[in-house]
Amino acid sequence: MYIDVSLLKILNEVRACLKNHSSNLHTSIYGIFCLHLVDVARYAALIQVKSPTNCDAHLAESIF
């Protein structure tokens, strides 16, 4: 099977572009979820301060 050299260059450029895009997407998704987890932790601490006896019940209701 014969593949043209110019076709190989194009395929390598496309592969590099997709790899960069995938890396950027992973970084942005990771940032979104990490920020969300910080907000959940702060909210949990706030609920526990306001009502320590019902903390787990409030968290379960607010998350689900």
pLDDT at 13: 75
Let me know: does 10 contact 22? Beta carbons within 8 Å. Answer: no
The full set of domain ranges for the chain reads 5-63
pLDDT at 18: 65
Specify the pTM: 0.29
- Give the residue among 59, 64, 19, 30 at the shortest CA–CA distance from 43: 59
Let me know: does 46 contact 57? Beta carbons within 8 Å. Answer: no
pLDDT at 63: 52
**pLDDT tens profile 19-61:** 665 555 555 555 556 556 667 677 777 766 666 555 555 555 5
Mean of the pLDDT values across residues 4-8? Answer: 69
Residue 15 has pLDDT above 70, yes or no: yes
